[in-house]
Chain A
Amino acid sequence: MSKYILEAVDLIRQYKQYDSVVTAVNHVSLKVEDGEFLAIMGTSGSGKSTLLNLLAGLDRPNFGSVTIRGTDITKLSPDKLSRFRGEFTGVVFQKHNLVPQLTALENILVPTIMCNKPDHQFQETLKKLILSLKIGNRLGHLPSELSGGQQQRVAIARALINRPQVLFADEPTGNLDRKNADEVLELLLETRKMLGMTMIMVTHDMAIADKADKIYMMDDGKLYLYKDKQGYYKNTYEVQLQAEQEKNAPKAREPWQG
């Protein structure tokens, strides 16, 4: 069995915008080990959220494959992919994406409802999450009655309730102030450790990324390793230089061009 829980090979994602084609993710390959915490950084519009969506199976690439626990999710039917997401992955969105008509508790339980999980399978985890995320007193409230920090805690609890093997977080603290951001991040990391899962996080914040095992930089749809497990930091100049070289290199024919 492969030591990698997630393997992405040569991912390409393009969007048609009027007459032109925008390549948001350009030949990206990535391997993530079990239990690893990986951060993806980059400027706005560099394609990091698109990459995260591809890795989490929320979107389909134009080319390439994403394998999670030996299953190539790009080849799964929409129904099977949905079921796979429910069983193996959890997602925390930047904008929380809580369902407005459901209370905090019901929002947390959405994945269990969607995966038809019986009560006894998640009661223990629910208790632990409520306790560690400190949202016990807000469970009966609607999202509109919660603060941004509380909403994000609920979103984290929702992402973790099914005990996913890989957690994808898209700038989970992006909408929060520093104090709340630190708190939420701390809770997220603690819970990850408690449940022992792999986490891939997109962030702008170097302070947050610093806590990751590996940091990748994303620029113009390309992904570069910025910090590896041994703690070696490539300096920014090296990364930029590499990016420049890539840009200026003669372009090979794109795979879809035959």
Chain B
Amino acid sequence: MKLLDSAKRDIKLSLKTIRFEFPRFLCFFVVLFLLQGLFCSILTLYFNNDRTQLDYMESEYRAPNGELYHLKLLGCTETQRAILHNFDMDQEEEKKIFTLLGADITQTADGSRRQFDLYIRFEGDVEESYQTFRARYSYALSEQGPYIEGTTLLLSYELEQVANRAVLILQLTLVVVLGALAVWVLHSIMTNHYKFTYGVYMSFGANFLRLFRTSVWEMVWAALFTWLPAVSVSNLICWLLFRNSGLGFAVSIGGCLLTLLISLLTVCISVFASIRSVSRKPPVKHLIADDNSNLIRSPRHSASLAGSTFPGGVGRLSFLRFRKYVLRLLGTALSFAMLFVGLITLSTCYQRMLDAPRPLYQVDFAVPTYTPPSTDEESDSEAGENTEAEGTDAETDTETSSDAETPDGSDATSDPGSDTEEETVFIDYASYGYTNEISKVFAEMPHLGTVLKESVHPARALHSHIRFDEAAAKIGAGGVSLSRDGVDWRYQMNVDYQSLDSEIIRSFEFLGYGIEGSLESVLTEPGTVAVTDSFMGSVQFDWEIGDVIYVAKVAEPLSAAHTVEQSMMYVTDEDQILLAYLKQCNYEYTAYTIGAIISDMPTEDSWSVFFNAEEYEAVTGYEPVYESVKIYAKAEITEEEEAQMYEWLRKAELVYDNLSVTDLHTRLSKQIDENKNYSGVFTLFAVVLLLICAIVWLISQILFYIKRRGEFELYLAIGAPLSSIRKLFLQDALLYAGFGAGVFALLAPPVSWLIHRAIGYVTILIGGDMLASFQLPIVPYLIGIAMCALCGFVSTMLPYLTYKKQGSPLHRGPGETSRQEETVNE
């Protein structure tokens, strides 16, 4: 009852305050309208995308019996169907991992036999069931002949949902933090200007909680009043977005309610922070502040007016006099403006990634009849080091590729070309993989854009590393810095050695990677390499064409390297491992000149050095082998043309025993990514921040000059004409505009770069992709500069115009009254 009574009083008091001083609350209404619009847009897009994504999949992945399927086995024989049917029947009901849903029956191309496309649904944890299915049944099925395994996106739907939810939470957290920051800044400006009221409340017993409750209700009303208009506008925008994409749209009631909850949380956080600082001070400070607010700040400064020119010197002086305020205002407003540019940078970056070509299919090559030697246990243990061991298809393929790609590390390094070992452990690399012959066949594929192939050896697996001039490493590039022979070197082990040929060069050109220098020089000039300039989503090196890097090869005795490898088995810090190698092993360094620098190549935590085939073999001890390639289609391919490509690949799969195709469902996943509209959300968010910047500037300055009215009255009283006051304002306006635009122009690029770098790092860390190269969006940057200049000028001149309009008693004629006085008299 007491609580209810108290709440009633709070509500009454807050409503009264809002009604009485509506203009000062106007900024909160605007900001909360914008923030709630943003919250609601993010949530509405999320809920609608979630629904659309499921709709897409449900329409795409339906078995003949109408049920959803997770896996499709294409081109199976009658025996394979029977085997799978028996497996299905043999499962215990409670331990069932899959259900055979049905089959499409067709004739083979030559019409010799019937073939079956089998549809399978996994039960329980679908990902786990899929893995169990492969482990249990793939071998038995592949023994009966080749077939194509095609997983659907439904298999990873739950994981995708978790990822989407994580992104949503990240987005919302970012918006809540920045929104709370904006409301906090505005609330702090307001409490600072109206702290007298808080001083009175505190004098009569108001503690922090009491002040918080009084203030938070004011903000709650602002949030409640703006909620409905904000969610309406936001839903309208989302509806337009979805309508333009030809998708169905549904208003999310949950999203609207969640918007309100989040905005209430935001105002609570900001009011908490602002009132906390008010309540820490003794009330007398708040009361005295009001008493002196209309006076020139100090007698000393007042006295110094006499020696200054008016209004020029006084104006400049006031900029200095209120330097704390000026710094705080510029700091706050410009932070929002810089975030605007930072977010537009991210939005552009995301859009570039979305527009980049994506592979449609992955083709894996392996030797189908290879049996691993039973005595070679180490090769299994080292399978983890192998980046190429994908083995996505039949069990035999996986085993073969693992063994092919995981030669015994120690033997391989000691003597990879040893004849005896090749007979017992190694297979003939040239006999499989994406060879030149297959490449010629693949070139016939209809609508082909490019085939991207990779042959990679991580430096760490070879106990190798790269050494280069310390000056080429940017801050944060990591690695080990050592000074040897009077030169400062940077050593790095997170390097992949890759092979390069003319086909790969064509692929890089197709994919639009930034290339400086000539990739052909790597093929034609001995001792020349190409390097990437980034990892962890950021540009980490400052390479120049002609720079020299040194590739380390561990020298005899090799036992030292094995000792380090063993002792560092559980150490995760690569730099620590590298340091141990450098301390305990001898290395021979071979110099390579950088002939080309590749930027914007997707990387994770390592960068790459590209060698021609001979150099690659010399460095790694292996010929280049391409076990897996990615197929890209030409731009703007239709669904029909895509089907033709797939059909062509299916045929190729039947012709070549050691080839298996995986559909990457690119069309669907790209459509889903486009519908997520992250780039639109970022842009919207950026625009909101720019508007908040303008609001902060306007509100601050208006309140600031209201407080200084007494000072202007004094100038008028001692003989200054109104034109001088106008000049004073004009001078202030130009100073604010100049400083604002100048500081923004200087700071926005580094701040945007930092934001890009930080987001890139986090994105790579959580397994996403990020373009490493930073491009400052010029138009938003110029808009930011113009906005800062405009805000600085307008926010200063506006109070002058109001001042002039309302009129001072000192520049009114006899008998004239101000509008305010007239209103009071009425």
A101: B residues at CB distance < 8 A? 16-17, 20-21
Interface membership of chain A positions 62-100, coded 1 if the CB is closer than 8 angstroms to chain B and 0 otherwise: 000000000000000011101101110011010101111
A256: B residues at CB distance < 8 A? none
Query: When the two chains form their complex, are residues A97 and B279 in contact, meaning their CB atoms are under 8 A apart?
Result: no
A252: B residues at CB distance < 8 A? none
Q: How many A-B residue pairs have CB under 8 A?
A: 90
Asked whether B206 is an interface residue with its Cβ less than 8 Å from the other chain, the reply is yes
Asked whether A162 is an interface residue with its Cβ less than 8 Å from the other chain, the reply is yes
Asked whether A153 is an interface residue with its Cβ less than 8 Å from the other chain, the reply is no
Select which of A53, A56, A86, A144 is within 8 A of B205 by beta carbon: A86
Query: When the two chains form their complex, are residues B207 and A82 in contact, meaning their CB atoms are under 8 A apart?
Result: yes
A86: B residues at CB distance < 8 A? 204-206
Question: What's the minimum C-beta distance from A230 to chain B, rounded to whole angstroms?
Answer: 34
CA A85 to CA B279, docked complex, whole Å:
14
CA A244 to CA B386, docked complex, whole Å:
93
CA A116 to CA B279, docked complex, whole Å:
17
Query: When the two chains form their complex, are residues B208 and A116 in contact, meaning their CB atoms are under 8 A apart?
Result: no
Query: When the two chains form their complex, are residues A78 and B291 in contact, meaning their CB atoms are under 8 A apart?
Result: no
* Docked complex: B154-208 residues within 8 A CB-CB of A: 196-197, 199-208
Which of the candidate stretches A106-114, A173-181, A185-193 sits at the interface with the other chain? A106-114
Interface membership of chain B positions 273-317, coded 1 if the CB is closer than 8 angstroms to chain A and 0 otherwise: 000000111111101000100000000100000000000000000
* Docked complex: B225-282 residues within 8 A CB-CB of A: 279-282
Select which of A78, A85, A102, A118 is within 8 A of B203 by beta carbon: A85
Asked whether A227 is an interface residue with its Cβ less than 8 Å from the other chain, the reply is no
Select which of B5, B201, B202, B279 is within 8 A of A119 by beta carbon: B5
Select which of A18, A87, A110 is within 8 A of B201 by beta carbon: A110
Asked whether A59 is an interface residue with its Cβ less than 8 Å from the other chain, the reply is yes
Asked whether A158 is an interface residue with its Cβ less than 8 Å from the other chain, the reply is yes
CA A111 to CA B205, docked complex, whole Å:
6
A98: B residues at CB distance < 8 A? 200
Interface membership of chain B positions 541-567, coded 1 if the CB is closer than 8 angstroms to chain A and 0 otherwise: 000000000000000000000000000
Given A93-B287, A99-B197, A99-B200, is A115 in contact with B205 using a C-beta cutoff of 8 Å? yes
Interface membership of chain B positions 1-26, coded 1 if the CB is closer than 8 angstroms to chain A and 0 otherwise: 01001100100010011001100000
Query: When the two chains form their complex, are residues A118 and B2 in contact, meaning their CB atoms are under 8 A apart?
Result: yes
Select which of B6, B21, B209 is within 8 A of A79 by beta carbon: B209
Given A18-B300, A59-B284, A101-B17, is A78 in contact with B9 using a C-beta cutoff of 8 Å? no
Interface size class of A (residues with CB under 8 A): 35 or more
Query: When the two chains form their complex, are residues B5 and A118 in contact, meaning their CB atoms are under 8 A apart?
Result: yes
Query: When the two chains form their complex, are residues A85 and B200 in contact, meaning their CB atoms are under 8 A apart?
Result: no
Question: What's the minimum C-beta distance from B372 to chain A, rounded to whole angstroms?
Answer: 73
Query: When the two chains form their complex, are residues A82 and B284 in contact, meaning their CB atoms are under 8 A apart?
Result: no
In the complex formed, the residue of B with least CB distance to A94 is B291
Asked whether A9 is an interface residue with its Cβ less than 8 Å from the other chain, the reply is no
Asked whether B460 is an interface residue with its Cβ less than 8 Å from the other chain, the reply is no
Query: When the two chains form their complex, are residues B207 and A53 in contact, meaning their CB atoms are under 8 A apart?
Result: no
Asked whether A60 is an interface residue with its Cβ less than 8 Å from the other chain, the reply is yes
Query: When the two chains form their complex, are residues B208 and A114 in contact, meaning their CB atoms are under 8 A apart?
Result: no
In the complex formed, the residue of B with least CB distance to A161 is B204
Question: What's the minimum C-beta distance from A73 to chain B, rounded to whole angstroms?
Answer: 11
* Docked complex: A36-52 residues within 8 A CB-CB of B: none
Given A53-B284, A99-B197, is A114 in contact with B204 using a C-beta cutoff of 8 Å? yes
A80: B residues at CB distance < 8 A? 207
Asked whether A206 is an interface residue with its Cβ less than 8 Å from the other chain, the reply is no
What are 14 pairs between A and B in contact, CB < 8 Å?
A58-B283, A59-B283, A78-B280, A79-B208, A82-B208, A82-B279, A85-B203, A85-B205, A91-B203, A91-B204, A97-B199, A102-B13, A111-B204, A113-B9
